[in-house]
Structure 1
Amino acid sequence: MPNEVRSLRVEGVVLRHSDWGEADRLLLVYTRERGKLRALAKGVRKLRSRKAGHLEPFTRVALMLARGRDMWIVTQAETVEAYLPLRDNLLKLGQAATVLELVDRFGYEEGEDPGLYQLLTATLRRICEEEDAFLALRYFDLRVLDLFGFRPQLFHCARCGAEIKAEDQFFSALQGGVLCPRCGPQDPTARPASVEALRFLRHIQRSNYTESKRANIPAPIRSEMEQLLQYYFTYHLERKLNSPDFLRRIRQNGRNGSAEG
């Protein structure tokens, strides 16, 4: 095509890569300008490659790309932000993996979404900088749902519309949010949801990040919140996420004593 763009400059976060041929790697990058994008890094597995260190997963990188026959080719790469604490802390790495997996699952191929890119980079930085990343992760979860049109209804019953009161309720992915005690038993897919878990989810949903951080959430409630959101993600993605199991194994091995997310 005569008007086809032959070169492209983008900034993005490397989500994952896989070996390609004898010395190349195929990258999946979430970019600010083009959304999710695949590119081939030629010769990057060679010992003398200067690009290799810039193209690892969990790295924010500036790329110059040239259009090849079937895909983009990386011609230049420069690290913008390395998120180094992720390399030294397996727990933080597991937390970041849950973020990257959701971006991969929800992000569009070559579809610009600067809001998601900004949320992604801000969340990775928060995981690196904050000792307890639970609220950063739950804030990310709820904002991703907002961005892609799956905002859960937490203030009124998603079935009958009644205002939710300060009592234990149900949560239904099928109905798109909270169900009151009268409607909940009528949905066999709904899960019990404690008043405390819903209170904190509502707080995070309606607050900016600074306000969200004021919440002091007990460990059992954290676990319930996380499980409810994973159940909701699984329903909308129509498949189970892989990274939460990896994160769960890290916790069970005692890599960090906190009750974070």
Structure 2
Amino acid sequence: MPSSERTLRVEAIVLRHNDWGEADRLLTLYTREEGKLRAIAKGVRRLRSRKAGHLEPFTRVKLMLARGRDLWIVTQAETLAAYLSLRDDLERIAHASYVVELLDRFTYEEGGNRALFDLLAVTLQRLNEGHPSFTVLRYYELRLLDLLGFRPELFRCVGCGEEIQPVDQFFSPLLGGVLCPRCGGQDTSARPVSVNALRFLRHFQRSSYAEAGRAVIPLPVQQEMETRMQDYLTYYLERGLNTPGFLRAVRRRNPD
């Protein structure tokens, strides 16, 4: 537990929950004040539980927590934002699930990071309001990597240090960014990245969300950007994420 206090009042977003015992749930929370926490919500699987509706994944809540023997215990819960539109269809659920899984997998119970909490909250809000999912997710990925210290180098070759020129390059998660054509052989696992995909990744990395949202990106370039980002994230997580496969399955069912 990150705090010596007997009680905590926190603002949190529910990342996920698992059944615990006969009627309880184990919650994984990301809080504004303390970062990632786990807490037990007692009795919420009972039909008459008043807390159950406040503690669903993606919900932003105000909680009172009491110290238990090993875990915090939820004693009070109040919904601040339910993000109800995220639950309207499978694709929105998949997008929100991806956002929370990415934060969950990259973080540990090691103290607060208000910038991460704010990024998570504003990203869920954007998805809830129906912003274009491609822009929301790619911008979220790049800002998350910035805040966690894994920012990919997109402007200079990570092999020779020279400024990247407007030609096709290579993208190397192993070396942390882009390799110029001369240095591409330094990492045999590096993948080609086109001029346009790199141009828009750079734009997203250095721009505000509003500026990123004005970019008109052809679908094949969007797909390439998504693939290169998945390569990078998978490398640093050391294993694949669960939700991209779910999202691909949903897209196949709803091709429009």
When normalised by structure 2's length, the TM-score is 0.97
SS of alignment partner, residue 174 of structure 1: coil
Q: What residue in structure 1 maps to residue 101 of structure 2? A: 101
Q: What residue in structure 2 maps to residue 172 of structure 1? A: 172
Q: What residue in structure 2 maps to residue 111 of structure 1? A: 111
Uncovered stretches (5+) of structure 2, i.e. residues with no partner: none
Q: What residue in structure 2 maps to residue 50 of structure 1? A: 50
Q: What residue in structure 2 maps to residue 66 of structure 1? A: 66
Deviation at 1:110? 4.3
Q: Deviations over 1:48-72 (max 9, x none)?
A: 0000000001111110000011110
SS of alignment partner, residue 155 of structure 1: coil
- Within the alignment, does 1:198 sit opposite 2:207 as a pair? no
CA contact (8 A) 2:173 2:235 kept: yes
CA contact (8 A) 2:159 2:186 kept: no
Runs (4+) off by over 3 Å = none
Instruction: State the alpha-carbon separation in 2 of the partners of residues 79 and 118 from structure 1.
Output: 17
CA contact (8 A) 2:31 2:117 kept: yes
Q: What residue in structure 1 maps to residue 154 of structure 2? A: 154
Deviation at 1:121? 0.4
Instruction: State the alpha-carbon separation in 2 of the partners of residues 114 and 132 from structure 1.
Output: 25
Deviation at 1:105? 1.0
Instruction: State the alpha-carbon separation in 1 of the partners of residues 98 and 227 from structure 2.
Output: 13
Q: What residue in structure 2 maps to residue 217 of structure 1? A: 217
CA contact (8 A) 2:197 2:225 kept: yes
Q: What residue in structure 1 maps to residue 208 of structure 2? A: 208
Q: What residue in structure 1 maps to residue 4 of structure 2? A: 4
Instruction: State the alpha-carbon separation in 2 of the partners of residues 104 and 224 from structure 1.
Output: 25
Q: What residue in structure 2 maps to residue 18 of structure 1? A: 18
Instruction: Please tell me the residue identity of whatever aligns with 1:101.
Output: E
Instruction: State the alpha-carbon separation in 2 of the partners of residues 116 and 64 from structure 1.
Output: 21
Question: Number of residues paired by the alignment?
Answer: 254
SS of alignment partner, residue 157 of structure 1: coil
SS of alignment partner, residue 17 of structure 2: strand
Instruction: Please tell me the residue identity of whatever aligns with 2:10.
Output: V
- Within the alignment, does 1:252 sit opposite 2:252 as a pair? yes
Q: Deviations over 1:146-172 (max 9, x none)?
A: 011111111111110111111110000
Instruction: State the alpha-carbon separation in 2 of the partners of residues 139 and 169 from structure 1.
Output: 21
Instruction: State the alpha-carbon separation in 2 of the partners of residues 228 and 4 from structure 1.
Output: 42
Percent identical: 65
Instruction: State the alpha-carbon separation in 2 of the partners of residues 116 and 35 from structure 1.
Output: 8
Instruction: State the alpha-carbon separation in 1 of the partners of residues 212 and 159 from structure 2.
Output: 28
SS of alignment partner, residue 39 of structure 1: strand
Deviation at 1:240? 0.8
SS of alignment partner, residue 192 of structure 2: strand
Q: Deviations over 1:114-173 (max 9, x none)?
A: 000000000001111134221111010001110111111111111101111111100001
Alignment of 1:230-249 (within 5 A): 230-249=230-249
CA contact (8 A) 2:172 2:190 kept: yes
Deviation at 1:5? 0.9
Instruction: State the alpha-carbon separation in 2 of the partners of residues 157 and 4 from structure 1.
Output: 46
Q: CA RMSD of the aligned region, Å?
A: 1.1
